């Protein structure tokens, strides 16, 4: 299992984006648009490669974001809490991710 260090977080929700923009960002992120949205953890691994973990559990993402930086280092991301972990941070994405089977 890869360990990550959360660096930042954000929310992908209808409250933060106009509806068409929300659907577009969801498509590029590789997740379906939902009424509740997503929490995103912006991570780095041991080699400083950037990753984004996408979760439907906004409260869980908020709790992780509230952790002291020492508590966030080397975090193991539980697969059942995150629908997708994809390479890069949202501002680096140009296209939807390739589909992989788990």
Q: Which residues pair with 55 in a beta bridge?
A: 39
Q: Do the domain assignments include residue 38? A: yes
Q: Is 97 exposed, middle or buried (0-12, 13-18, 19+ CB in 10 A)?
A: middle
pLDDT at 96: 67
Q: What is the pTM of this model?
A: 0.83
Residue 63: give the domain boundaries: 3-89
Residue 10: inside a domain, yes or no? yes
In-domain check, residue 94? no
**How high is the pLDDT of residue 99?**
55
The domain tally of the chain equals 1
Q: Evaluate whether residue 97 is within a structural domain.
A: no
Confirm whether 24 is domain-assigned: yes
Residue 61 domain-assigned (yes or no): yes
Q: In whole angstroms, how far apart are CA 98 and each of 44, 85, 86, 87?
A: 20, 12, 10, 11
Evaluate whether residue 96 is within a structural domain: no
Q: Does a structural domain hold residue 95?
A: no
Kindly give the confidence (pLDDT) of every residue in the chain, 102 residues in length, as a single tens digit, with 9 standing for 90 and above.
678 888 889 999 999 999 999 999 999 999 999 999 999 999 998 899 999 999 999 999 988 888 766 666 667 777 788 989 999 999 898 776 665 444
């Amino acid at each position: 299992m890869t360990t990550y260090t959360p660096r930042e977080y954000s929310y992908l929700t209808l409250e933060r984006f106009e509806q068409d923009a929300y659907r577009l960002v969801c498509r590029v992120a590789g997740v379906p648009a939902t009424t509740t949205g997503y929490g995103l953890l912006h991570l780095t691994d041991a080699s400083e490669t950037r990753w984004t973990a996408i979760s439907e559990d906004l409260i869980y993402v908020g709790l992780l974001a509230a952790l002291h930086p020492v508590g966030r280092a080397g975090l193991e991301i539980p697969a059942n809490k995150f629908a997708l972990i994809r390479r890069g941070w949202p501002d680096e994405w140009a296209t939807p991710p390739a589909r992989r089977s788990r």
